[in-house]
């Protein structure tokens, strides 16, 4: 089959850009870098501590499926939520963000927008001095809040303060400004937002207009059918990228070398 010259040049150009990205690692001149010990990551079930584990392979599969759908639609922002508390949406968001950051052609920003129960930073064993509320309330520059957890191409915007009127804050003009800055701060970036559970508050509904799609996490043996049905009713009209079945009793697919 003949291939047009323009197609060959496009592929070579893409390959050259990818190679340049690999040879020129990101330099974090302003963002604080935090080195998290691997045992700490393993204890908290973050897949960066298990490079060749079956669960890591599962998250790579999830990453591929999510990225395929987002790229097909030109989407760059994704909210991760669940029906009810305790179904694993935060850990799913963290591990998905890490897996996406392992791709060589984009960076990933993970934002803790569970303003009622922030917990992203603790999975990295980090106690950040400032969080997203400092930006929203005190106009603190993002450079003073973001941190890199020692994973190339992954940056975290943590939250340190619980907020009970979070839905009002999530729909405020200052929040709109923040999201716009996060989306346009860098090219080739995906932004993942860890959000509260849908049935626990109206935060997801209030924030939905700011994101391209939603990833829903459900837990096998815990999420009730009625809860899932009610969640889908609430999210009607909102782009749902997919549903993740967490804590499945089905054994993970073994990871093989080829």
State how many domains the chain has: 1
CATH classification of the domain holding 227: 3.40.50.300
Classify residue 9: in a domain, yes or no.
Answer: no
pLDDT digits 0-9 by tens, 114-166: 999 999 999 988 888 899 999 988 889 999 999 998 888 899 999 998 888 88
Classify residue 255: in a domain, yes or no.
Answer: no
Classify residue 252: in a domain, yes or no.
Answer: no
Residue 65 has pLDDT above 80, yes or no: yes
Classify residue 94: in a domain, yes or no.
Answer: yes
Classify residue 26: in a domain, yes or no.
Answer: no
What pLDDT score does 8 carry?
32
Q: How confident is the model at residue 255 (pLDDT cuts 50, 70, 90)?
A: very low
Between the CA of residue 132 and those of 20, 107, 116, 174, 229, what are the distances in Å? 33, 19, 12, 11, 32
**130: how many CB neighbours lie within 10 A of its CB?**
20
Classify residue 56: in a domain, yes or no.
Answer: yes
- Cβ partners under 8 Å of residue 147, min gap 6: 31, 32, 33, 34, 126, 128, 155, 156, 158
Q: What is the mean pLDDT of residues 194-199?
A: 96
pLDDT digits 0-9 by tens, 73-115: 999 999 999 999 999 999 999 999 999 998 767 899 999 999 9
Kindly give the pairing relationship between strand 77-82 and strand 154-157: unpaired
Classify residue 251: in a domain, yes or no.
Answer: no
Residue 5 has pLDDT above 70, yes or no: no
What pLDDT score does 26 carry?
57
Q: How confident is the model at residue 254 (pLDDT cuts 50, 70, 90)?
A: very low
Domain hosting 58: range is 31-246
Classify residue 79: in a domain, yes or no.
Answer: yes
């Amino acid at each position: 089959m003949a291939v047009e010259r323009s197609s060959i040049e496009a592929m070579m150009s893409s390959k050259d850009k990818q190679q340049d990205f690999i040879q020129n690692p990101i330099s974090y001149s302003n963002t604080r870098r935090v080195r998290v010990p691997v045992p700490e990551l393993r204890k908290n079930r973050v897949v960066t501590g298990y490079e060749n584990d079956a669960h890591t392979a599962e998250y790579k599969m999830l990453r591929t499926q999510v990225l395929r759908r987002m790229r097909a639609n030109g989407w760059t922002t994704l909210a991760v939520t669940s029906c009810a508390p305790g179904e694993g949406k935060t850990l799913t968001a963290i591990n998905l963000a890490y897996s996406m950051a392992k791709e060589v052609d984009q960076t990933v920003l993970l934002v803790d927008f569970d303003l009622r129960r922030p917990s992203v930073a603790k999975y990295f064993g980090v106690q950040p001095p400032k969080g997203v509320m400092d930006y929203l309330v005190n106009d603190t520059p993002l450079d003073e809040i973001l941190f890199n957890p020692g994973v190339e191409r992954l940056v975290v915007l943590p939250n340190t303060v619980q907020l009970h009127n979070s839905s009002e804050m999530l729909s405020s003009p200052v929040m709109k400004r923040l999201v716009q800055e996060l989306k346009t701060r860098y090219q080739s970036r995906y932004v993942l937002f860890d959000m509260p559970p849908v049935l626990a508050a109206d935060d997801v509904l209030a924030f939905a207009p700011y994101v391209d799609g939603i990833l829903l996490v459900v837990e096998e043996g815990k999420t009730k059918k009625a809860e899932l049905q009610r969640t889908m009713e609430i999210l009607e009209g909102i782009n749902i990228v997919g549903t993740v079945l967490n804590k499945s009793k089905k054994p993970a697919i073994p990871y093989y070398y080829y």
